[in-house]
Homo-oligomer: A and B are copies of this chain.
Amino acid sequence: MSTDSKFVQSCVFSIPGPIEVTDEVLFANAHPSMSHMSPDFARVFGDCIRMTRQLLYSEDAQPFLIAGSGTLGWDQVSANLVEPGENALVLHSGYFADSFADCLQTYGANVDQIKAEIGGAVKEADIESALQAKKYKIVTVTHVDTSTAVLSDIKAIANVVKRVSPDTLVVVDAVCSVASEEIQMDAWGIDVVLTASQKGLGTPPGLSILVASQKAVQVFENRSTPVTTYYGSWKKWLPVMKAYENNTAAYFATPPVNLIYAFHASLTQIMQGSVSLEQRFKLHKEVSRRVKKAAEEIGFKGVPLSEDVQANGMSALYFPDGFTASDIVPRLLKKDVVVAGGLHASIKDKYFRIGHMGVSVVDPSRGDIDKVISAVKESLAEAKVSKQ
């Protein structure tokens, strides 16, 4: 590891996850070994469950915190909420909808997709038509698709679903939005928010975080067929989560103890730090506007087709005409700014992605965002010179 230690110390790590995390979170991740059955750990786990619920503005939704990546949330939804042969409607605003659909099909769902054009979100009128034509057990929407930086209006979508097909569960893939975009589960009528630790939540990767409304829990409990996963089964995890929320340990599988300490440290900063949750969302909007404006002024163009579908925790930017990833990304890296390449297959080489979430946004004294903006400007200028 010695070869990269200089690199990681001095760089601005600006990909859309894993994001930069605070020293307090890293310190917590190095917590000495603790028993997952100890009262001390149970209290910390219980705090995480309570704070996760609060973060989503819910009174009574049920969090599930399980060792795994964000992907495990798809399995949980597909295997606990949808029974084989039932219908699922997947709203497609980028790469991750294809994968969610693939997961649903693995567990036996009949999947229909509504695909937005690249850079767009699915239109409410199209959702309404689909819901009128067929009965769906769930509708899934990617809140921010990390491949396109497209933000879907989950409040409006939930509203359409409640109006047209009130029994249908609204499932939000919020891996790239929790803690950088506002989500009001109860007020908006969202049934599932699934996410992961390494993006807006500012914790190292390895924790699957899913929050289910009581309505979703009821649907799970009223299944007529057995749950089709073992590791992701809510039958196994629900009693464990309830026990930990009562500050009592319970066992199904060993939780990722250190990561729970790290998550606790980050949630504490998010929920009880000097920047309020509302202010956090506001800062993400401001920084997002600043990054996008600076990039557009020098010829980059956002992948999202209009301002109302632009994510606030990341930007996906087409290179200016005549430039490609190889002109820009290596130059950014030389300036110690780490960004992500394209991910959406159809436009992979035409754009790149910048993450602006978490501590880089809420702590301007780090200078992360300024450094990224300057580096993008300088890199393009250098690329122009090299082509002359």
Contact = CB atoms under 8 A, between A and B. Distances in A.
Interface of A: 1, 3-4, 7-9, 13, 15, 17-21, 26-38, 40, 44, 67-72, 74-75, 78, 102-103, 106-107, 196, 198, 204-208, 226-233, 252-259, 261, 264, 338, 340
B253 A69 contact: yes
A18 B253 contact: no
Contacts of A102: 230
Contacts of A21: 32-33
Nearest to A268: B1
B206 A256 contact: yes
Contacts of A226: 106
Contact of A68 (B7, B32, B72, B257): B72
A35 B255 CA distance: 24
A4 B338 CA distance: 37
Contact of A18 (B33, B71, B196): B33
A274 to B, nearest CB: 20
Contacts of A72: 67-68, 231, 253
Nearest to A20: B33
Contact of A229 (B32, B40, B207, B229): B229
Given A1-B28, A36-B205, 12 more contacts: A1-B261, A13-B34, A20-B33, A26-B30, A35-B338, A38-B338, A68-B68, A70-B254, A71-B230, A72-B253, A74-B231, A196-B254
B34 A8 contact: yes
B1 A206 contact: no
A35 to B, nearest CB: 5
Contacts of A261: 1
Given A67-B67, A69-B254, A204-B257, A18 B35 contact: yes
A206 B67 contact: yes
Given A75-B229, A107-B230, A205-B67, A257 B18 contact: yes
